[in-house]
A and B are shown apart, each in its own frame.
Chain A
Amino acid sequence: MTFAIIEAINVTRRDDKTERIILDSASLSVNAGESVGLIGPSGSGKSSMLRSLARLDPVLVGCIRFQGTAITGNAIPAFRRQVAYLSQRPFLIEGTVEQNVSLPFSFASATGSFNRQTAIELLGVLGRRESILDQDAMTLSGGEQQSVALVRAMLIEPAVLLLDEPTASLDTPATQRFENLANIWKLADADRTWIWTSHDADQVARMTSRTVQMLDGKIVNE
């Protein structure tokens, strides 16, 4: 049975500084297990849609529902572990790779505990040995940092991944490694869902099966 796992309902949002409307009554419903590609020109609202779905930005009108329930207030930290957002630029903290990938388990909303073995297996995609966990995260290449950020999100076992142009600044081999890693997560469970934004039409075709187009803050075409 299919059901809407995450929905944006009539979401309107203004830019905090310029007051410009960046999401204009945009609605999007995604079923569990779907692979959605969100496309459109720069400034069309793709990134804002993903940030709104992750509840990172305050919305003016409308709401975000997860499994049919509007998510607000103190339900949000636990919700964000279910709907993990990955930014275009990876943000790692100063310290080792292990300190980075175990970071989400230090928060009060953590349910499980950090599984070192799983982290090593996932980071194996980067073609490195166990020692990468002890490496200073700041010495990794851009592509490796983005993969570490993805592994960090994968380890909290979200139901939905929101990927905001994750490979926009990566070269082809790094993009390929990133996609392979992402597929490990996606294929492990048929109900796992993701939404990608990308400027790369080939990537959208490879990674997603349903394409949603945005223009001027609106969903224009499915």
Chain B
Amino acid sequence: MNDLSLTWWEVSIAAVLLVINGGMSWWLRLGLGQKIAISAIRMAVQLALLGLVLKQIFALSSFGPIMLLATAMTIIAGFSAVSRIENRYASIRITTIISVWASSWLVTAVMIGLIVRPDPWYSPQVVIPLLGMVLGNSLTGISLGIDRYIGDLKSKRGEIEMRLSLGATRWEATSGVFATAARTAMIPILNTMSVTGIVSIPGMMTGQLLAGAPPIQAVKYQIMIMFVIAAAIAMGVIAALLLSYQKLTTKDHQLYVK
């Protein structure tokens, strides 16, 4: 088995490629130089910090700090879901945090308790990366779904109120919009599932192969994580849309979007 671990010196060779890009941008006056520099430095600093945090937490390997990190990751995911939503309402952060939390932690619990079964069960090397992957995908689905839902409630207000004024319940009047939003949120993961392995080898599988795992083992992990991610997105989106529905319609069967 080759030793494939990298030194910082080796990483900097990759950085030179980016510097060449920056030079070309300057030469062609694309105005991208500054953006490339900022994004690259930001990414490097964020990941370096993450590495330090993970190093500490892996070394401690005790329950409290792992839970604290997992909680922090979840709340950040809830907030960043909102930042991608153009159409908002007052308590939207509560909606995204609850739905990201419930869906991601539930499927991660299933993954850890029934599928991967690390020992101890809270092993940070397993829990943190798996939770991170689920969170990242779940928040994308949730923000897509909510954005479409609120946008459609606004743009189809006349039609929805027409249904209400002819005796529809708030659910009957808005269920079409709900279904469209849920479908919209699921499209990216469905697309990913159908092209995975044809166009590219997914990141997690690449990582396992580089780490020397047998291909079939890496494939099993990748399939499992795809199933779990799709389930987390579906659950998170439905929770987020149901909470939004409660907020944007009233018990008096009225539409309440500003």
Contacts and interface: CB of A to CB of B under 8 A. Distances in A.
Interface of A: 16-17, 54-58, 72-74, 76-78, 80-81, 84-87, 89, 91, 93, 103-104, 107-110, 149, 152-153, 156
A104 B159 contact: no
Q: Which 9 A-B pairs have the closest CB atoms?
A: A91-B162, A81-B167, A104-B166, A85-B165, A109-B167, A91-B158, A76-B253, A107-B168, A16-B258
Contacts of B166: 80-81, 84, 103-104, 107, 152-153, 156
Contact of B158 (A81, A89, A109): A89
B164 to A, nearest CB: 6
Nearest to A17: B258
B87 interface: no
B165 A56 contact: yes
A160 B186 CA distance: 44
Interface string B237-258: 0000000000000111111101
B8 to A, nearest CB: 55
Majority SS of interface residues in chain B? loop
A183 to B, nearest CB: 21
Given A107-B169, A109-B167, A110-B167, 18 more contacts: A55-B253, A56-B161, A56-B164, A57-B254, A73-B252, A74-B253, A77-B168, A84-B165, A89-B158, A91-B161, A93-B159, A103-B163, A104-B166, A104-B168, A107-B163, A109-B169, A153-B166, A156-B166
Interface in B119-178: 158-159, 161-169, 172
B255 to A, nearest CB: 8
Nearest to B255: A56
A122 to B, nearest CB: 16
6 contacts: A16-B256, A55-B253, A56-B165, A72-B252, A87-B161, A153-B166
Given A55-B252, A56-B254, A91-B158, A107 B172 contact: yes
A109 B252 contact: no
Contacts, number: 75
Nearest to B250: A58
Contacts of A76: 252-253
A108 B161 contact: no
B134 to A, nearest CB: 37
B164 A80 contact: yes
Interface of B: 158-159, 161-169, 172, 250-256, 258
Given A16-B258, A72-B252, A77 B169 contact: yes
A57 B164 CA distance: 11
A153 to B, nearest CB: 7
Nearest to A93: B159
Nearest to B257: A16
A54 B255 CA distance: 13
B251 A78 contact: no
A218 to B, nearest CB: 23
Name the residue in B159, B164, B252, B254 with the highest tally of chain A Cβ atoms < 10 Å from its Cβ. B252
Contacts of A153: 166
Contacts of B250: 58
Given A58-B254, A58-B256, A73-B252, A78 B159 contact: no
A156 B168 CA distance: 12
A167 B88 CA distance: 35
Contacts of B254: 55-58
A86 B164 CA distance: 11
B172 A108 contact: yes
A89 B168 CA distance: 19
Contacts of A93: 159
A58 to B, nearest CB: 6
A123 to B, nearest CB: 17
Nearest to A57: B254
A84 B253 CA distance: 14
A80 B162 contact: no
B167 A104 contact: yes
Contacts of A85: 165
A54 B159 contact: no
